[in-house]
C-alpha cells in the first residue's frame, strides 16, 4: 500500500505511529537503511517505495546497491520515476 496523504491521519496518532514500526527500529539499532521509489500504485498513482537495509557502518555498500537499483529502474522506465508522481 502507499502512504496516506498529507494531513489524512492527523486525528489518529496510533495509525501514524504504526506506519513507522517497520522502518524506525533499523535506524535505532544502528543499522543503515534507505527507501527508494520503485513504482506507482495503480489504484491512486501514488509512489510505492522499497526499503533496503544493511549492517551497521555498511553505508557505502547500501549506497552502491541503491545506485544500481536506481539506474536499473531508470533504464526500465526511460526517466526518473519522480517525473510521474502527482503533485501534492
pLDDT tens digits along 6-42 = 777 788 888 777 877 777 888 889 999 998 888 888 8
pLDDT at 66 over 90: yes
Instruction: Please give the tally of structural domains in the chain.
Output: 1
Instruction: Count CA within 13 A, CB hemisphere, residue 2.
Output: 17
Instruction: Please report whether residue 79 resides in a domain.
Output: yes
Q: Do residues 32 and 77 touch, judged by C-beta distance below 8 A?
A: no
Instruction: Please report whether residue 2 resides in a domain.
Output: no
pLDDT at 4: 73
**More confidently predicted of 72 and 45:** 72
Q: pTM score, two decimals? A: 0.67
Structural domain including 43 reads: 13-84
pLDDT at 10: 81
Instruction: Please report whether residue 3 resides in a domain.
Output: no
- The DSSP call for residue 85 is S
Amino acid at each position: 500500500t502507499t502512504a496516506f496523504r498529507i494531513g489524512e491521519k492527523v486525528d489518529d496518532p496510533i495509525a501514524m505511529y504504526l506506519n513507522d514500526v517497520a522502518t524506525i527500529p533499523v535506524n535505532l539499532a544502528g543499522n543503515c537503511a534507505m527507501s527508494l521509489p520503485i513504482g506507482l500504485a495503480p489504484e491512486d498513482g501514488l509512489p510505492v517505495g522499497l526499503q533496503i537495509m544493511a549492517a551497521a557502518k555498511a553505508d557505502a555498500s547500501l549506497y552502491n546497491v541503491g545506485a544500481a537499483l536506481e539506474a536499473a529502474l531508470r533504464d526500465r522506465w526511460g526517466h526518473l520515476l519522480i517525473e510521474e508522481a502527482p503533485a501534492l
